Amino acid sequence: MAKINNDDDLTQDERWRAFAQAAQDGDKQSYSKLLSQIAPYIRATISHSLANPEWADDITQEVLISVHKSLNTYSPKRPFKPWLRALINFRRADYLRKYYSKKGNEQTSLDNPEFIKKYVTEPSLADEYIDVDRALKEFTDEQRNIFTKVKIEGHAIKDVAEELDMSESAVKVSAHRTLQKLRGLLR
Amino acid sequence: MSTNKDEHKNIDSLIEGLSGDLQCCKPLNCPFKRIAPWAILSAAYMAFIVFFIGIRDDLIDKSQDVLFLFEISLASVISITAAIASSFMCSPDMCERKWIPTVSITSAAIFLLWTIVRYSVEGIAYEDIHWDHCLEGGALIGILPAIALVLLIKKGKTTAPVMMVAMNTLAVSGLAYIAMRFACAVDTVGHSGIVQITPFIISGLILGLLARKLYRW
């Protein structure tokens, strides 16, 4: 076992490995140090890959709880970081899966101030989103559907064409023409 | 800003709580050591059930049939490697051996290919597809090792529940397939390749859909 007292001589991974081993033996102080040291590492690892930075803290907490639950699966013979990273990736994927599956069932309106505050990137532009939403009502269902899928939701042309049983070029042309007309309406 | 501070406070209090709850825990044994008792007990159980159902009459002749031995060996490789992979996957990082499941997946793919080759040469022999006797035997052989394997796996924490269920299914299916080949004298593709395996594939698919619930932690 690496000596925890000589912190300076150890790499970060060796130090965490030693803390984890001590934690498995019931050393609460080492465990607290381990969790305190890995928390910023977890946050730094995930924050760049999340659409909403606020999720980082939620996921960090879930990873810390996972470390606690699965401490017995860590073997001090192996490096600590790959084990921790596996937990981070698992909990991040789990969090995003739950979030987006829940979001799929939620419907809201752009008139909802809470939604705008939370999800519209630039709240000052919220009125423009509402204008776009209104202007789209001037179009046929098909045009609106294609435009929404391609230009707003960002689906691939190929997927939309397959879903609507149309050719890819017809989808492209429809989305482009709707965009042109929309520009005219909003000018 | 205040929200961030609150969240950091939450993390600090969480760390404090988790540290307070800490109890000594023994690290899991090496994956090979962990799965060995399951493999030995399952093999013994399988032998017992085969004796109970009745060994096929032509087993001595069959033990000199190269194709029969090839199929049994391949099923053994699938079962053993899948059981080992299941044991490795008990650790979130798969003990840094992420390639392990590919061994049994490749073996299963060879088995599938072999079954297709046999089908193209021998035909499916529809008259030998009858579901009346091997289903009970397969269920009898598979159920206890399957429960034991799931209980063993649940002592660990997997980060790949669907793959874990796939490995569990291959481990138990391989075992049951070997046992049924020793007990049932019908060797046609339709019987040994479909009737004896399909129930395990269906069970595996159902469990696959429930994998995240089964191995949730």
Q: Is some CB atom of chain A closer than 8 A to the CB atom of B91?
A: yes
Q: Answer whether residue B68 shows pLDDT above 60.
A: yes
The more confident residue out of B37 and B128 is B37
B8 to chain A: nearest residue by CA? Answer: A57
Residue B177 CB-density burial (10 A; 0-12 exposed, 13-18 middle, 19+ buried): buried
DSSP H stretches of helix in A5-54: 12-24, 28-47
Q: Is some CB atom of chain A closer than 8 A to the CB atom of B122?
A: no
Fold category of A7-104 in CATH: Rna Polymerase Sigma Factor; Chain: A (1.10.1740)
> If you average pLDDT over residues B23-35, what whole number do you get?
91
State the Rg of chain A over Cα: 25
Portion of chain B with pLDDT greater than 70, in percent: 92
pLDDT band of B39, cuts 50, 70, 90: very high
Chain B nearest CA to A185, separation (Å)? 40
CB A37 within 8 A of CB B34: no
pLDDT band of B3, cuts 50, 70, 90: very low
State the pLDDT at residue B126.
Answer: 67
Q: Which residues of B are less than 8 Å from A83 in CB distance?
A: 91-93
Which of these ranges, A15-29, A114-128, B139-153, has the smallest mean pLDDT?
A114-128
pLDDT band of B9, cuts 50, 70, 90: low
Chain B nearest CA to A137, separation (Å)? 39
How does DSSP assign A76-133, residue by residue?
A: TTS-HHHHHHHHHHHHHHHHHHHHHHHHHT----TT-HHHHHHH-SSGGGHHHHHHHH
Number of A–B residue contacts, CB under 8 Å: 91
* A 90-119 near B (Cβ less than 8 A): 90
pLDDT band of B159, cuts 50, 70, 90: very high
State the pLDDT at residue B144.
Answer: 93
The more confident residue out of A62 and B140 is A62
pLDDT band of B44, cuts 50, 70, 90: very high
Residues listed for chain A: 187
Of B26, B6, B2, B3, which Cα lies nearest the Cα of B14? B6
Tell me if B18 and A60 make a contact (CB, 8 A cut-off). no
Domain boundaries, chain A: 7-104, 113-186
State the Rg of chain B over Cα: 21
State the pLDDT at residue A186.
Answer: 79
Tell me if B21 and A76 make a contact (CB, 8 A cut-off). no
Q: Which residues of B are less than 8 Å from A29 in CB distance?
A: 19
Chain B nearest CA to A160, separation (Å)? 28
- Residue from the list B19, B91, B95 with its beta carbon closest to the beta carbon of A35: B19
- Residue from the list A29, A64, A73 with its beta carbon closest to the beta carbon of B91: A73
pLDDT band of A99, cuts 50, 70, 90: confident
* pLDDT digit string, tens, across residues B204-215: 889 889 998 899
Q: Which residues of B are less than 8 Å from A72 in CB distance?
A: 25-28
Chain A nearest CA to B63, separation (Å)? 42
> If you average pLDDT over residues A119-135, what whole number do you get?
73
Per the prediction, chain B carries an average pLDDT of 88
> If you average pLDDT over residues A148-170, what whole number do you get?
86
Q: Which residues of A are less than 8 Å from B4 in CB distance?
A: 57
pLDDT band of B157, cuts 50, 70, 90: very high
Tell me which of 1.20.140.10, 1.10.3720.10, 1.10.1040.10, 1.10.10.10 is the CATH number of domain A113-186: 1.10.10.10
Tokens of B37: 């008792």
Q: Is some CB atom of chain B closer than 8 A to the CB atom of A37?
A: no
Q: Is some CB atom of chain B closer than 8 A to the CB atom of A16?
A: no
The dihedral over CA atoms of B110, B112, B113, B119, expressed in degrees to the nearest 10, equals: 140
Q: Answer whether residue B53 shows pLDDT above 90.
A: no
Phi, psi at A165, each rounded to 5°: 60, 50
* pLDDT digit string, tens, across residues A37-60: 999 999 999 988 887 878 898 999
Tell me if B23 and A64 make a contact (CB, 8 A cut-off). no
Q: Which residues of A are less than 8 Å from B3 in CB distance?
A: 54
CA distances from B101 to B105, B176, B209 (A): 6, 20, 19
Tell me if B19 and A32 make a contact (CB, 8 A cut-off). yes
The more confident residue out of A133 and B4 is A133
State the pLDDT at residue B172.
Answer: 94
Of B110, B168, B175, B167, which Cα lies nearest the Cα of B142? B175
Q: Is some CB atom of chain B closer than 8 A to the CB atom of A75?
A: yes
Q: State the complex-level ipTM.
A: 0.81
Portion of chain B with pLDDT greater than 90, in percent: 51
Tell me if B15 and A39 make a contact (CB, 8 A cut-off). yes
CB B124 within 8 A of CB B189: yes
> If you average pLDDT over residues A159-176, what whole number do you get?
88
* pLDDT digit string, tens, across residues A53-81: 788 989 999 999 999 999 999 999 999 99
The more confident residue out of B28 and A103 is B28
> If you average pLDDT over residues A128-152, what whole number do you get?
85
Portion of chain A with pLDDT greater than 90, in percent: 35
State the pLDDT at residue A123.
Answer: 63
